[in-house]
Structure 1
Amino acid sequence: MKKIFSIFIIFLTFFLLGAGYYFSSSIISFPVSNLEEDKTKLNINSFTDFGLPEPESVRFQNGSLRLRGWYFKNPKKKKCGVVLLHGHGRTRYGVLKYAPLFWKRGCSLFTYDARRHGESAGEYGTYGYYEKHDLERAMEFFSEISTVPEEEIGIFGASFGAATALQYAEGRSDFAFVIADSPFMDMRSIVEKRAVDIYSPLVLFLSPVALSIAEVRADFLVDEVSPKKAAKFISIPVLLIHSKEDEVTPVAHSEEIFQNLKSNRKQLMVTDWGALHCKSIDTRFTEYESIVNSFLKEKTTFPK
């Protein structure tokens, strides 16, 4: 019996390690779209769909990591700018729908593919752990090429991009604002939520192993990926927008982040328009724009 039990334990250990490694791959080396695939999926014909001119294609480095993006120089030449951050598995095409909110105000825009996404390099995605440092470099680069001071640059993020923006904002006061559409509150909870959605609750017994293996492979700490924790040290203006009907990231995530926000210039807008994940702007653009404009007017000193 002891021999049989030992064999069972060995078999179970190898099974857990093998399954955990497989699951960890779906967490940190997930499939992504290239630019053309994303453009087709989103049914985008050209930049004119969003009232934008052809951008300048740019590349910049964060250490040895190469990142690629677009710079839209606004002819109105106002001293304001916005960095747009896309969602998980997407590309910079995914945030162009938000561009008119700021382009019409006369602000220049900058968007780029996150590490491991689109045309940017990177073996693993870490849900904001390293991406917040890429964003720091992106802010510097955008300020350099646009001559807009960083304190006049805001950040708009959708989903994973929203979570990255909030993590970047922790303890900083050197930029204008964060607008976060449908962020997750921490990596562990969103990974487990999506695993259950795709597979079943039974997969939860694997998640601690898979996340631990992911940490070793990508050299990061899962529990440090937490917009909810970061919120306790955010003092700049923050607008959270989340659909009540969000099926991917429950609205409770934004509610938890909002409760933790240190900033006294904060706003949470829960839409009840029947919108899916990050689709509130698609459902009612005019009302969405009004929410953003009111926030910028009342909570920030951003140029009108």
Structure 2
Amino acid sequence: MHLTKRALGLTTIIFVILLLSAGYYFSTEMVAFRTRTMDADHERSKIKDFKQIGLPEPETLHFQNGTISIQSWFFKNPKKKKCGVILLHGHAGSRWGILKYAPLFWKRGCSLFAYDARHHGESSGEFGTFGYYEKFDLDKGIEYFSEVSGIPEEKIGALGESYGAATVLQLANVRKDVAFIIAESPYKDMRTIIQKRAVELYGYPILVVSSVAFQIAELRANFVVDETSPLKAASHLSAPVLLIHSKTDEFTPYEHSVEIFEAIPGKKKKLFITEWGAAHSKSINTNYKEVENSVDAFVKEFAPAEFK
């Protein structure tokens, strides 16, 4: 009996150690994930240079949010209209990956501002928090963009893709004075999207480890997973919102955008579910004209006069 208790105790200790070790490993995958280099993301974007998409060479700038240094590009439009759009890239990418949307607003005479999210590209930051801290970086980015461009903050729109889309939606928890929000392929909350991916990779038993991993991730990155939620933020949105999502998105199901759309109050909102077989965040890659038409219609109906 004594030996049995000792064996059981030892087994329990080993199980706990293994669970905590696995939890720590997966917490790293959650918040200290690997990101692409600028060069790798440049190549992946298939944009040879700025001229290819009608942009001039940008001014390379950076701004601070506390100890985090955010590296950015400022494209000053020669038309000097008082409108601007800030562009946010997707998970593990860089500002190269979001430039495919730039022509949508450059043609309107608006200046553009694109930056690397914390823990991405050339920006600093040990952890990525799926919008929890990134929404405050975006708030600072809008202030800085306004400062360097002379464009009023309320005349600046925010467009994000995937990880960036989740961030622009969570901006509602920080500020109201933004011209509009365009979110392509957002997830409804951090916990849901990570658990979905984990199950796809490792099967349902991984959920035992993921619950521990989430708690360790919260301790390491000093944030709250359940407060990292575009769906929760949606009820606070007052700016016009356009959601774009491919019906064949296997990474983040389009139903995430449907839920977010339904949670947004008022009528200043549009939901564009694309149905031409695009992969995650690739609707504009595979049918630029249709996405352009959708954005044009949204801007015409809801954006400030400076964008028209």
TM bracket, shorter-chain basis? over 0.9
Q: Shift in Å at residue 169 of structure 1?
A: 2.0
Q: Distance in 2 between matches of 1:214 and 1:263?
A: 35
- Residue of structure 2 aligned with 1:131, choices 131, 134, 153: 134
- Residue of structure 1 aligned with 2:109, choices 106, 109, 119: 106
Query: C-alpha deviations, 1:130-154, integer Å up to 9, x for none?
Result: 0011111100000000000011000
Q: Distance in 1 between matches of 2:199 and 2:51?
A: 40
Q: Distance in 2 between matches of 1:101 and 1:79?
A: 16
Q: Retained in 2: the 8 A contact 1:172–1:234?
A: no
Aligned counterpart, 1:26: 29
Q: Distance in 2 between matches of 1:30 and 1:214?
A: 11
Q: Distance in 2 between matches of 1:100 and 1:263?
A: 29
Sequence identity percentage: 55
CA RMSD in angstroms comes to: 1.0
- Residue of structure 2 aligned with 1:84, choices 83, 87, 104: 87
Q: Distance in 1 between matches of 2:52 and 2:129?
A: 32
Q: Distance in 1 between matches of 2:44 and 2:73?
A: 19
Structure 2 matches for 1:48-67, cutoff 5 A?
48-67=51-70
2:20 partner letter: L
In structure 1, the gaps of 5 or more residues are none
Aligned counterpart, 2:145: 142
> Does the residue aligned with 2:205 lie in a helix, a strand or coil?
helix
In structure 2, the gaps of 5 or more residues are none
Q: Shift in Å at residue 171 of structure 1?
A: 6.2
Structure 2 matches for 1:287-302, cutoff 5 A?
287-302=290-305
**TM-score, normalization by structure 2:** 0.97
Q: Shift in Å at residue 43 of structure 1?
A: 2.5
Tell whether 2:258 aligns with 1:255: yes
1:204 partner letter: L
Q: Retained in 2: the 8 A contact 1:171–1:235?
A: no
Q: Distance in 1 between matches of 2:264 and 2:174?
A: 11
Q: Shift in Å at residue 251 of structure 1?
A: 0.5
2:258 partner letter: E
Structure 1 residue runs of 4 or more that deviate by more than 4 Å after TM superposition: none
Aligned counterpart, 1:69: 72
**TM-score, normalization by structure 1:** 0.98
Query: C-alpha deviations, 1:79-114, integer Å up to 9, x for none?
Result: 000000000000000000000000000000000000
Q: Retained in 1: the 8 A contact 2:95–2:115?
A: yes
Aligned counterpart, 2:242: 239
Q: Distance in 1 between matches of 2:29 and 2:303?
A: 39
Query: C-alpha deviations, 1:59-93, integer Å up to 9, x for none?
Result: 11111211101000000111000000000000000
Tell whether 2:14 aligns with 1:16: no
Q: Shift in Å at residue 236 of structure 1?
A: 1.1
